[in-house]
Amino acid sequence: MPNSTHLPLVYHPDYSFPFPEKHRFPMAKFGLLAEYLRDIGLLTRENGVRPGRSKPLWLNQTHCPDYLARFINREQTPQEHRQMNLPWSEGLVKRTLIAPSGTVLAAQLALHHGLACHLAGGTHHAQYDHASGFCILNDLAIAAKVLLHQSGVGRVLIFDCDVHQGDGTAALLKNEPRAFTCSIHCESNFPFVKQQSDLDVPLEDGLDDAPYLTIVMETLHQVLDRVKPDIVLYDAGVDVFRGDPLGRLNISEAGIRERDRQVLSELLRRRIPVATVIGGGYDDDRVALARRHAIVVEEAARLRGIRF
Ligand SMILES: [Zn+2]
pLDDT tens digits for 24-63?
999 999 999 999 999 999 999 999 999 999 999 999 999 9
Instruction: Please state whether the predicted TM-score (pTM) of the whole model is above 0.95.
Output: yes
Core vs surface per residue 86-99: b (16+ CB within 10 A) or e: beeeebbebbbbbb
Say how far apart CA 166 and CA 279 lie, in whole Å: 10
CA distances, 246 to each of 66, 103, 204, 249, 260 (Å): 31, 24, 14, 9, 20
Average pLDDT over every residue of 98-116: 98
Q: In what order do the strands lie in the sheet with 199-203?
A: 48-49, 9-10, 115-118, 274-277, 231-235, 156-160, 179-186, 199-203
For position 281, what pLDDT does the model report? 98
The band of 4, judged by pLDDT with boundaries at 50, 70 and 90, is low
The band of 5, judged by pLDDT with boundaries at 50, 70 and 90, is confident
Concerning whether 125 is annotated as a catalytic residue, the answer is yes
Question: CB of 180 within 8 A of CB of 158?
Answer: yes
Core vs surface per residue 141-160: b (16+ CB within 10 A) or e: bbbbbbbbeebebebbbbbb
CA of 302 to the centre of ligand 1 (A): 25
CA of 2 to the centre of ligand 1 (A): 33
- Of the chain, the percentage scoring pLDDT greater than 70 comes to 99
For position 1, what pLDDT does the model report? 38
User: Which DSSP letter does residue 180 get?
Assistant: E
For position 244, what pLDDT does the model report? 97
- In this structure, whether the domain defined by 23-303 belongs to CATH 3.40.50.1970 is answered with no
Please choose, from the candidates 33, 45, 36, 40, the residue with its C-alpha nearest in 3D space to the C-alpha of residue 8.
45
Q: What are phi and psi of 183, to 5 degrees?
A: -125, 125
User: Which DSSP letter does residue 76 get?
Assistant: -
Average pLDDT over every residue of 273-291: 97
CA of 165 to the centre of ligand 1 (A): 7
User: Would you say how long the chain is, in residues?
Assistant: 308
Mean per-residue pLDDT over the chain, rounded:
97
Neighbouring-strand partners of residue 117: 9, 276
pLDDT tens digits for 220-263?
999 999 999 999 999 999 999 999 999 999 999 999 999 999 99
For position 3, what pLDDT does the model report? 53
Question: Helix, strand, or coil here: 53?
Answer: coil
Chain Cα centroid distance, residue 150: 20
Average pLDDT over every residue of 180-205: 98
Q: State yes or no: pLDDT of 207 exceeds 80.
A: yes
63, 124, 125, 293: which one is catalytic? 125
Peptide bond preceding 191 in cis form (omega within 30 of 0): yes
CA of 128 to the centre of ligand 1 (A): 19
CA of 5 to the centre of ligand 1 (A): 31
CA of 193 to the centre of ligand 1 (A): 15
Strands (E), 187-246: 199-203, 231-235
